[in-house]
Chain A
Amino acid sequence: MITRRNLIGTSAVLAGAAAISGRVQAASIPEAVTTASPAMQPPLTPASGPAYQPVVTLNGWSLPWRMNGEWKEFHLVAEPVERELSPGMTAKLWGYNGQSPGPTLEFVEGDKVRIFVTNKLPEHTTVHWHGFVLPNGMDGVGGLTQPHIKPGKTFVYEFVAKRSGTFMYHPHADEMVQMAMGMMGFIVVHPRDPQERRVDRDFVFLMSSYDIDPGTSLPKVMTMTDFNLWTWNSRVFPGIDPLVVRKGDRVRIRIGNLTMTNHPIHLHGPHFEVTGTDGGWVRESARWPEVTTDVPVGGMRAIEFTAEEPGDWAIHCHKSHHTMNAMGHEVKTFIGTPQKDLTKAVRKLLPDYMPMGTEGMAEMGTMEMPMPDNTLPMMTGFGQFGPLEMGGMFSVVKVREGLARDDYKDPGPYKHPPGTVAYEVKGDIPDAMRRSDNSTKPGNVELSVVKPRTNRQGGQH
């Protein structure tokens, strides 16, 4: 029996593994814990089973489990959910246990896991355990390795988490639609020895993209490339949590990509190494330093670094449209088109009109224009020095001294030591000299461009 309870407060996981009703026990199915909040939950320290260093799910949570003999039992419920993508916009998605992405599943190397999957969707589904080596019949490919899980039915998957690493789960039934609707979740298998590859902070998020027209809330599932919302854990900046790190911490960030394009994830400040993929851990001898790593479609990357420099370090996808929210891809470019003198004429027809874009679009970042319902500004967010003009796949790694071990609270803007912020040059500034000013005058070198002859006769080779 599944219960869905509302949380009191906004940031606590509903119930632990202990809160299992008698009926649930009798039915031998663990309670499906659920949450309505998109806020980041504190890491779920294991209360039973082998110990491990839990991960932190960006704007998410880890699913509690129960031990049943030697089995670690989880219960996933595939169901329609409402996910706040950022304050001001909620999407109607499909997910698991109240959220999209679903809760992170944390196993330990060697765990025998039993996962109950109940389908509350209007159509059949399955779950594929992406990256796991397991019995073929547990691989979750509808039709190929198992019958589909029909609406209302509960299936059980049982396998052993053979190796530690970074994994994910997602449907393999009507996959295009179900993934476009947000069905996915993270899986981390911890090493048996908690000291092995130990890091102090271990963040995880999945990348997904949606095409949701302004004023609507349902993703257009047929969209293939022209998405307008690029999300980490189905959140967009400024709705994405910062990655809060204590100075000196060893940090791991695990990133999975379930969009339809690759994402070059770029971290400012600390250099990192890619230490793992969904195929396993990268041998130390094979790692190389990076500031950007491309996460391919359907791939996972674990990157690691030591946070030595305090500050607010941006982390983002380097495809610049992916650090924007909903925008009109058909909007013309008005740079260099003076509009101010036409404003009066336009206002006669459109009283609220304001000319935009003549000098670029940065003004978008500062303006608080009224918007259609349920959409987000294309570029937004403010820092201590002004507008960030960002959206989508953007967050900040906040490295601070003296945080508590489990403190993931946003510490606010970085306090720069005096004299360490770029500053304006004041006083009498001579006009900038350009190298070309004192070398060749225009006209000294004559270049002429000759249009290639279109006449194919004579001398062409």
Chain B
Amino acid sequence: MSAPTCVRATVFRRWSTLWRHKTQLLSFSALLLLPACASFSPDGGMSVTTDIAARHLRKDVVAIRNDEDADAARVKVDDLLKRTLNADTAVQIALFNNRGLQAAYNELGIAEAQRVQQSLPPNPSISISRLSGAAEIEIERKIAANILALLTLPARAEIATERFHRAQLAAALETLRVASDARKAFYRAVAARQAVGLLEQSSEASSTTAELAKRMTASGAMNKLDQSRQQLLHTELTTELARARQRATSERERLVRALGLSGKDLAFKLPSRLPSLPNRPPAMKTVEEEALNSRVDLKIARSELDSLAKSYGLTKTTRFVNVLESGYLDKRVEERATGEHKHQSGFELTLQVPLFDFGEARAREAEQTYMQAVNRLAQKAVNARSEAREAYRNYRTSYDVAARYQRDVLPLRNMISEELMLRYGAMQIDVFALLTEARQRIAANANAVDALRDFWLASADLQAAVIGGAGAPSDSPSSTTAMAGDGEPAGH
């Protein structure tokens, strides 16, 4: 109801002798030394990232801290760029080369610096003040140390360590994200390129039919109407091809960004086709468990919770000590009248006295904050399991779809082509029907490429959902290559 009121109180504790005080000071100093001073780690805190990258990605990571690092990375990237890229080399290049990732590693460096900083005791400050009043002269010598900082040093050090640990995990997460982005950008770029190749074939087919139609109009075997239709089809396919080329360029640029390439590196070579479908999808029975154990975002949340628990504990112990200033006080008061002077010495603590329920409210706030984090972590765990399940189902489905294309649709399309070829040989159909079928076969191949791309994207998403916690399934685009000629009756 009433506004909290802060009352400053000064606590004096008399010390009989200065010696005693000195002893006390010494023992206090000893107290300061209790938390071991943190020092910079030799790998700059990269161990977690390195470990996760090695374990889950089977890739090297490097935080570029100096010219030697930069040169070494450059050599490796140059070497990888010499060969035709694959998904793994693309990821590796991104890990060496992506500047955004290096920025994340810088963040890690900052966190480490703060950790070291937080583990150091505060520098005490000494001040002497002389107060002269009517009755007495007061000389106050003060060694002001941030007592609270000292008192909270172990906790703060621990928090900074936790924060550093989180930064490590965040760097790992960013590493996984960059890897996943690179992988997906690679698949997209290759698929888009493959689609262009197929559309080129298709447009070749339509160009042939258009030319035949033109000649047949000249020979008197085809009317303007049908010829125009053939011509139009070819024009549409040519337009579609232009769009596909544009898409391929965009996807390549996305890959360039994911890999952080520029200049002469842009001449890198992509394979002409996506990697083929694995014979069997790796079974993943424990995908949820795996996600709970491995997900870096969960690790981060857990770490946050730990920190909160510590700060909660801290809040409890410091609920009445919410002031920064405290220090050692040595005060000599001289009575002007008598001339005698007396020493006053002791700790000076500025306390915040909880009036009403204020301290309790802070404790509750901390508790609620803690519980909030607990619930958030629990929800995250629920989400992680759900996301892992979803990603796995998406992965399985896209595998099955791609497999259906590889194992059923394409062989059947080939069978149809062969049978139509036989019919062509028997003069039961003409070349237009063959070319229409060829276009449909190419369209089926394009759909198969899309399905295969979706599978590889889903597998990258699955890895992200299980390890990284990037979670969100990729915006799995349906067939981006709507092919003309698809579904058109075979020339009858």
The chain A residues found within 8 Å of chain B, CB to CB, are 214-215, 326-328, 330-339, 342, 345-346, 348-350, 352-357, 361, 364, 367, 369-372, 375-378
Contact = CB atoms under 8 A, between A and B. Distances in A.
A413 B431 CA distance: 37
A377 B491 CA distance: 20
A60 to B, nearest CB: 27
Given A332-B432, A339-B431, A369-B426, A345 B222 contact: no
A44 to B, nearest CB: 38
B212 A371 contact: no
Nearest 5 pairs between A and B by C-beta?
A369-B425, A336-B219, A328-B428, A349-B438, A331-B430
Contact of A335 (B219, B426, B428, B438): B219
B198 to A, nearest CB: 11
Contacts of B219: 333-337
B208 A342 contact: yes
Contacts of A376: 426
Given A328-B430, A346-B435, 18 more contacts: A328-B428, A332-B432, A334-B221, A336-B221, A337-B215, A337-B216, A339-B431, A342-B208, A342-B212, A346-B208, A348-B204, A349-B205, A349-B435, A353-B424, A353-B434, A370-B422, A371-B423, A371-B425
B422 A372 contact: yes
Contacts of B434: 346, 350, 353
28 contacts: A214-B428, A215-B419, A326-B426, A327-B427, A328-B430, A330-B429, A330-B430, A332-B221, A334-B216, A334-B219, A336-B218, A336-B220, A337-B218, A346-B208, A348-B204, A349-B201, A349-B204, A350-B435, A352-B421, A355-B431, A357-B430, A361-B427, A369-B426, A370-B425, A371-B425, A371-B426, A372-B422, A375-B426
B8 interface: no
Nearest to A371: B426
A331 B429 contact: yes
A352 B434 CA distance: 11
B264 interface: no
B211 interface: yes
A335 B221 contact: yes
Contacts of B429: 328, 330-331
A345 B208 CA distance: 7
Interface string B430-467: 11101100100010000000000000000000000000
Contact of A372 (B201, B423, B430): B423
B258 to A, nearest CB: 34
A9 B218 CA distance: 57
Contacts of A332: 216, 221-222, 430, 432
B401 to A, nearest CB: 25
A165 B456 CA distance: 79
B207 interface: yes
B491 A330 contact: yes
Interface in B197-231: 201, 204-205, 207-208, 211-212, 215-216, 218-222
Most chain A Cβ neighbours within 10 Å, of B205, B428, B432, B438: B428
Contacts of B215: 337-339
Contacts of B491: 330
Contacts of A214: 422-423, 426, 428
A282 to B, nearest CB: 41
Contacts of A367: 425
A381 B211 CA distance: 35
B20 interface: no
Contact of B426 (A339, A354, A378): A378
A342 B211 contact: yes
B492 interface: yes
Interface string B395-438: 00000000000000000000001010111111111111011001
A346 B423 contact: no
Contacts of A354: 425
A348 B434 CA distance: 12
A346 to B, nearest CB: 6
Nearest to B217: A337
Given A337-B216, A349-B201, A349-B438, A356 B221 contact: no
A356 B201 contact: no
Interface string B170-202: 000000000000000000000000000000010
Contacts of A361: 427
Contacts of B417: 350
A348 B201 contact: yes
Contacts of B438: 349-350
Contacts of A369: 422, 425-426
A334 B419 CA distance: 21
Contacts of A370: 422, 425
A326 B425 CA distance: 12
Contacts of A350: 417, 421, 434-435, 438
Contact of B427 (A336, A342, A356): A356
Given A332-B222, A346-B208, A326 B428 contact: yes
A356 B434 CA distance: 13
B15 to A, nearest CB: 101
B486 to A, nearest CB: 15
Contacts of A336: 218-221
Nearest to B417: A350
B435 to A, nearest CB: 7
A385 to B, nearest CB: 23
B221 A327 contact: no
A335 B221 CA distance: 8
A345 B431 CA distance: 12
Interface string B41-58: 000000000000000000
Contacts of A345: 204, 207-208
A125 B163 CA distance: 93
A357 B429 CA distance: 12
Contact of A337 (B207, B208, B212, B419): B212
Contacts of A326: 426, 428
A254 to B, nearest CB: 33
A354 B431 CA distance: 9
B422 A371 contact: yes
A378 B427 contact: yes
B428 A331 contact: yes
A369 B426 CA distance: 7
B339 to A, nearest CB: 116
Contacts of A377: 426
A376 B430 CA distance: 17
A336 B220 CA distance: 8
Contacts of A355: 431
Nearest to B430: A331
A354 B438 CA distance: 15
A338 B419 CA distance: 25
A328 B427 CA distance: 6
A369 B427 CA distance: 10
A214 B421 CA distance: 12
Nearest to B211: A342
A353 B219 CA distance: 22
Contacts of B211: 342
A413 to B, nearest CB: 26
A436 to B, nearest CB: 23
A364 B430 CA distance: 13
Best-buried of B208, B215, B424, B431 by chain A (most CB within 10 Å):
B431
Which interface residue of A331, A354, A376 has the most chain B CB atoms within 10 A? A331
Contacts of B205: 349
Contacts of A346: 208, 431, 434-435
Contacts of A372: 419, 422-423, 426, 428
Interface string B454-492: 000000000000000000000000000000000000011
A353 B220 CA distance: 24
A349 B207 CA distance: 12
B349 to A, nearest CB: 89
B237 to A, nearest CB: 13
A378 B423 CA distance: 11
Contacts of A371: 422-423, 425-426
